[in-house]
Amino acid sequence: MSIGIKSLVTGVLLVLAGGGALWFALGGLPRGDDNPWLSGAEGYDKAQQLALGEGIPLLYVIEHAKCRRCKTLDTLLWRSPELQSSLAGLAKVRLNPDAGDGSAHILRRFPRVGTPPGIYLQRPGEPLRPIRIEVEDQQIWMPGVTYGRGFFMPLSAAGFDAVVRVTLALEDASIDNAPLP
C-alpha cells in the first residue's frame, strides 16, 4: 500500500489544523480563575496593574457586609452566568470599608456612596464613571447623549454590557460633554 505525497501532506495539514483549532478553543476562552474578583487595598493595586498591563477598564463595586441590596445585586448580576464573559474583560475590585482590608483607605479617593452599592468604571488614568443601578426595581441607568440624559432599563447581563460600553464611550461623565451623534 503506497501513500502519495499529496495524501501525506494533506493528512499532516489536517492534523495541524485540528490541533490549532483545539489549542485556540481551549486556550482562547477566559476562565473565571484567570480574572477573579479582587478586594481591598491589595486587590486594588493588583487590579490597577492588570488594567495597565492588559489595557482593560476597571470595575469598582463599593459594598457593605450587611447591605441587603449588595447581596441581592451579587446574586442577580455579579454571579450571573450570562455576565461572566463581559466581566472577563474588566479588572474587578470589591471595596468594603468595614472589612479591615485597607478598603477604607482606598475609598478616600472615591466619591462618597450614600446608599450602597456604589459602582464605578474607570479606564486607567481617567476619571471615575458611575453606573447607577436601582436594585429593588431591578433597573440600570443607560446614559444617552450625556450621562444625565438617559433612561432606566431592565437590569440584565445584556443591559449591563450595553451600559458599560456607552458609559466608557462618554468623554467625561462628570460634566456631560459627550460628543453629539
pLDDT category at 178 given cuts 50, 70, 90 is very low
Over the chain, what is the mean pLDDT? 82
pLDDT of residue 3: 64
Contacts of 128 (CB under 8 A, 6+ apart): 60, 110, 111, 120, 121, 122
Task: Report the alpha-carbon distance of residue 40 to residue 94 in Å, rounded.
Answer: 7
Which amino acid appears at position 73 of this protein?
Answer: L
| Cell numbers 489549542: residue | 23
Is 142 in contact with 151 (CB distance < 8 Å)?
A: yes
Dihedral angle over CA of 179, 152, 148, 91, nearest 10: -70
Q: Is 171 left (phi over 0), alpha (psi -120 to 50) or beta?
A: alpha
What are the C-alpha distances in Å from 86 to residues 83, 110, 127, 174?
A: 5, 24, 21, 24
Q: Is 87 strand, coil or helix? A: helix
Looking at the predicted structure, is the pLDDT value of residue 69 above 80? yes
Q: Is 4 strand, coil or helix? A: coil
Looking at the predicted structure, is the pLDDT value of residue 52 above 50? yes
User: pTM of the prediction?
Assistant: 0.76
Q: Express each pLDDT in 161-174 by its tens digit.
A: 999 999 998 876 55
pLDDT category at 22 given cuts 50, 70, 90 is very low
Backbone angles phi, psi at 165, to 5 degrees: -60, -45
List the one residue out of 36, 21, 99 whose CA is nearest residue 67.
99
